[in-house]
């Protein structure tokens, strides 16, 4: 059985409240298409976080629809399986499943209901894709993961797998012990022990953590083009694009060959070419800029060569304190000549000043990460000292209001 495993597409992501990334995603899909052509996998798996937000715009949905339909039209024999992540609306993904079924694309929005085991068997079919070469059990993100439910799915597969075909399980979860580079210090992230995802699979195709990694194996392995494992491994394919400038590691798509159930898993890392890289000017091991003129000069040079990418600036404390009021505007004006090819993160890093540095270096949390915390407000209370501009009382009020809104929303359902 041969699969292509990717995840965390985050289609529709807007960076710095300004830049859409359609061309970067199109560049990614172009590579995916070339790999499908070259390697002819039995299945293409996307393990959650299709979209960046729960209610993507019409343009974003149009992009997703046309990209996936184009893949299916060109490679009708490759089974495409796509699950919802925590960034996606499970209900919205689920609502589209029948239409996608017509194109032979398996879409899974909702996970199994928490009381599913009480209703007898049969429900498992919704999550199992049987192929001539193997099985895929397609689970989306689940806010409350129940091991018995996952195991019941794997057991249902085992019953029909007398001929020992490979078994792949998909999930979108944070698994304890994974490397969280790029996610900030998400100590409170709700994570599951790997054992909670049951046993009986040969390959667990994970999404959610953006750094490619095979659980229980050193990160240094990621430098190798190929690895061979005994069956029963769990792997994050990693995200399709660098979702932020903190994701400084290479991004890959996983090409996975499994010879038989309980056999060997051969992994090939396909390096994703990024249309736009993230740059820090000057590079972190150089002295920061000492004046706005130095910055303007460097930005001009960057626009001339390489002329494409996301830039963020490092300025020393003295220069930072005396930046002209039109500093940001001046930079945006310089970038206009590149036609949006050079893109600007206006959160300039101020260096050599302990307090400013702490602000610049402190972790930035995504909404989705806070959503996963068992008690986000408690987390904020503990870290409030790092955010002098935030008022804890206001935040507590905001949370209370949101909570009430949510309760109201639940009652309306
Ligand atoms: Mn996710």
User: What is the 3-class SS of 274-314, one letter each residue?
Assistant: CCCCEEEECCCCCCCECCHHHHHHHHHHHHHCCCCEEEEEE
State how far the Cα of 76 lies from the Cα of 247, in Å rounded to an integer: 34
Q: How far is the CA of 207 from the centre of ligand 1 (A)?
A: 7
Q: Where does the pLDDT of residue 395 fall: very low under 50, low under 70, confident under 90, or very high at 90 and above?
A: confident
Q: Which of 251, 271, 291 is the last residue of a domain?
A: 271
Q: Which residues surround ligand 1, an ion (CB under 5 A)?
A: 49, 85-86, 208
In a domain, 100, yes or no: yes
| Same domain, residue pair 229 and 344 | no
In a domain, 368, yes or no: no
Q: How far is the CA of 67 from the centre of ligand 1 (A)?
A: 21
In a domain, 204, yes or no: yes
| Same domain, residue pair 267 and 298 | no
| Same domain, residue pair 113 and 237 | yes
Tell if the pTM clears 0.95, that is, is over it.
no
Q: Are 126 and 140 in contact (CB under 8 A)?
A: no
Both structure tokens of 98: 């029948």
Both structure tokens of 238: 């990693």
Q: How far is the CA of 399 from the centre of ligand 1 (A)?
A: 22
In a domain, 41, yes or no: yes
| Same domain, residue pair 106 and 197 | yes
Q: How far is the CA of 150 from the centre of ligand 1 (A)?
A: 19
Range of the domain at 313: 278-361
Report the pLDDT value the prediction gives residue 246, as an integer from 0 to 100: 86
In a domain, 370, yes or no: no
Report the pLDDT value the prediction gives residue 144, as an integer from 0 to 100: 87
Q: Is the pLDDT of residue 219 over 90?
A: yes
Report the pLDDT value the prediction gives residue 367, as an integer from 0 to 100: 66
Q: How far is the CA of 352 from the centre of ligand 1 (A)?
A: 35
State how far the Cα of 286 lies from the Cα of 106, in Å rounded to an integer: 49
Mean pLDDT for the chain overall? 91
Q: Where does the pLDDT of residue 366 fall: very low under 50, low under 70, confident under 90, or very high at 90 and above?
A: low
| Same domain, residue pair 200 and 217 | yes
Helix H or strand E encompassing 267: strand 264-271
Report the pLDDT value the prediction gives residue 394, as an integer from 0 to 100: 77
Report the domain count for the chain.
3
> To 10 degrees, what angle do helices 292-304 and 327-336 make?
10
| Same domain, residue pair 127 and 211 | yes
Q: How far is the CA of 51 from the centre of ligand 1 (A)?
A: 10
Q: How far is the CA of 145 from the centre of ligand 1 (A)?
A: 15
Query: 79 or 397, which is more confident?
Result: 79
Q: How far is the CA of 175 from the centre of ligand 1 (A)?
A: 12
In a domain, 366, yes or no: no
Q: How far is the CA of 209 from the centre of ligand 1 (A)?
A: 7
Q: Is the pLDDT of residue 413 over 60?
A: no
What is the per-residue pLDDT across 272-299, written as a single tens digit (0 to 9) for each? 999 999 999 999 889 999 999 999 999 9
Can you say whether residue 367 is alpha, beta or left, with left for phi > 0 and alpha for psi between -120 and 50 degrees? alpha
Q: Which of 361, 383, 399 is the last residue of a domain?
A: 361
Report the pLDDT value the prediction gives residue 186, as an integer from 0 to 100: 52
State how far the Cα of 236 lies from the Cα of 47, in Å rounded to an integer: 9
Report the pLDDT value the prediction gives residue 86, as an integer from 0 to 100: 95
State how far the Cα of 86 lies from the Cα of 172, in Å rounded to an integer: 8
Q: How far is the CA of 304 from the centre of ligand 1 (A)?
A: 36
Q: How far is the CA of 370 from the centre of ligand 1 (A)?
A: 12
Q: How far is the CA of 316 from the centre of ligand 1 (A)?
A: 35
| Same domain, residue pair 8 and 132 | yes
| Same domain, residue pair 206 and 308 | no
Report the pLDDT value the prediction gives residue 377, as an integer from 0 to 100: 78
In a domain, 45, yes or no: yes
Q: Is the pLDDT of residue 356 over 70?
A: no
Alpha carbon separation from 240 to 65, 252, 254, 274, 321 (Å, rounded):
17, 7, 11, 9, 38
Q: Are 51 and 96 in contact (CB under 8 A)?
A: no
Q: Are 211 and 220 in contact (CB under 8 A)?
A: no
Q: How far is the CA of 187 from the centre of ligand 1 (A)?
A: 15
Q: How far is the CA of 184 from the centre of ligand 1 (A)?
A: 14
In a domain, 367, yes or no: no
Q: How far is the CA of 151 from the centre of ligand 1 (A)?
A: 22
Determine which of 189-198, 213-222, 243-252, 380-389 has the lowest per-residue pLDDT on average.
380-389
Q: Where does the pLDDT of residue 76 fall: very low under 50, low under 70, confident under 90, or very high at 90 and above?
A: very high
Closest among 218, 254, 191 to 7, alpha carbons compared: 254
Residue 401: CB partners within 8 Å, gap ≥ 6? none
How far is Cα of residue 171 from the mean position of the Cα atoms in its chain? 13
Q: How far is the CA of 305 from the centre of ligand 1 (A)?
A: 34
For the chain, what's the residue count?
A: 413
Q: Is the pLDDT of residue 103 over 90?
A: yes
Q: How far is the CA of 50 from the centre of ligand 1 (A)?
A: 9
Alpha helices for 84-225 (secondary structure H): 90-95, 97-102, 147-160
Cis check for the bond before 306: say yes or no (omega within 30 of 0). Answer: yes
| Same domain, residue pair 55 and 176 | yes
Q: What is the CATH number of the domain that holds 237?
A: 3.60.21.10
Compute the CA torsion angle 41, 237, 367, 15 (nearest 10 deg): -80
Q: How far is the CA of 235 from the centre of ligand 1 (A)?
A: 14
Q: How far is the CA of 322 from the centre of ligand 1 (A)?
A: 40
| Same domain, residue pair 334 and 402 | no
Q: How far is the CA of 172 from the centre of ligand 1 (A)?
A: 7
Q: How far is the CA of 277 from the centre of ligand 1 (A)?
A: 22
Q: How far is the CA of 162 from the centre of ligand 1 (A)?
A: 35
| Same domain, residue pair 252 and 298 | no
State how far the Cα of 207 lies from the Cα of 234, in Å rounded to an integer: 10
Q: How far is the CA of 261 from the centre of ligand 1 (A)?
A: 28
Compute the CA torsion angle 221, 278, 256, 171 (nearest 10 deg): 100
CA angle 345, 348, 354 (to 5 degrees): 145
Q: How far is the CA of 111 from the centre of ligand 1 (A)?
A: 15
Q: How far is the CA of 49 from the centre of ligand 1 (A)?
A: 5
Report the pLDDT value the prediction gives residue 359, as an integer from 0 to 100: 57
Q: How far is the CA of 382 from the centre of ligand 1 (A)?
A: 24
State how far the Cα of 351 lies from the Cα of 171, in Å rounded to an integer: 41
Q: Are 261 and 165 in contact (CB under 8 A)?
A: yes
N-terminal to C-terminal alpha carbon distance within the chain:
42
Q: Which of 218, 239, 271 is the last residue of a domain?
A: 271
Closest among 24, 28, 130, 128 to 71, alpha carbons compared: 28
| Same domain, residue pair 62 and 211 | yes
Q: How far is the CA of 263 from the centre of ligand 1 (A)?
A: 30
Q: How far is the CA of 386 from the centre of ligand 1 (A)?
A: 25
Cis check for the bond before 138: say yes or no (omega within 30 of 0). Answer: no
How many CB atoms sit inside 10 A of residue 277's CB?
13
Q: Where does the pLDDT of residue 188 fall: very low under 50, low under 70, confident under 90, or very high at 90 and above?
A: low
């Amino acid at each position: 059985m041969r699969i292509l495993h990717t995840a965390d597409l985050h289609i529709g992501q807007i960076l710095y409240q300004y830049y859409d990334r359609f061309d970067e995603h199109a560049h990614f899909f172009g590579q995916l298409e070339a790999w499908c052509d070259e390697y002819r996998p039995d299945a293409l798996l996307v393990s959650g976080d299709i979209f960046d937000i729960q209610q993507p715009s019409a343009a974003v949905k149009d992009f997703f629809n046309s990209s996936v339909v184009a893949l299916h039209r060109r490679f009708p024999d490759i089974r495409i399986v796509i699950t919802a992540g925590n960034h996606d609306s499970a209900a919205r993904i689920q609502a589209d499943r029948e239409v996608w079924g017509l194109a032979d694309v398996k879409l899974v929005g909702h996970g199994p209901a928490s009381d599913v085991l009480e209703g007898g068997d049969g429900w498992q079919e919704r999550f199992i894709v049987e192929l001539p070469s193997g099985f895929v059990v397609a689970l989306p993100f689940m806010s409350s993961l129940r091991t018995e439910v996952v195991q019941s799915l794997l057991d249902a597969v085992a019953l029909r797998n007398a001929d020992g075909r490979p078994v792949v399980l998909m999930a979108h979860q944070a698994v304890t012990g994974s490397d969280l580079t790029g996610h900030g210090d998400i100590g409170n992230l709700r994570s599951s022990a790997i054992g909670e995802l049951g046993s009986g699979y040969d390959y667990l195709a994970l999404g959610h953590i953006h750094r490619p990694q095979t659980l229980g194996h050193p990160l240094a392995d990621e430098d190798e083009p190929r690895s061979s494992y005994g069956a029963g491994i769990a792997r994050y394919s990693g995200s399709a694009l660098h979702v932020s400038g903190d994701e400084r590691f290479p991004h890959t798509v996983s090409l996975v060959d499994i010879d038989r159930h309980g056999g060997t898993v051969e992994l090939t890392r396909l390096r994703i070419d990024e249309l736009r890289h993230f740059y820090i000017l000057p590079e972190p091991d150089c002295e920061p800029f000492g004046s706005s003129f130095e910055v303007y000069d460097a930005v001009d040079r960057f626009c001339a060569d390489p002329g494409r990418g996301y830039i963020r600036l490092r300025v020393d404390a003295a220069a930072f304190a005396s930046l002209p009021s039109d500093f940001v505007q001046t930079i945006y004006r310089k970038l206009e000549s590149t036609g949006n090819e050079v893109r600007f993160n206006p959160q300039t890093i101020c260096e050599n000043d302990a307090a400013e540095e702490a602000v610049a270096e402190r972790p930035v949390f995504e909404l989705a990460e806070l959503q996963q915390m068992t008690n986000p407000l408690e987390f904020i209370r503990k870290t409030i000292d790092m955010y002098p501009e935030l008022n804890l009382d206001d935040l507590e009020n905001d949370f209370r209001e949101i909570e009430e809104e949510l309760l109201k929303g639940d009652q309306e359902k």
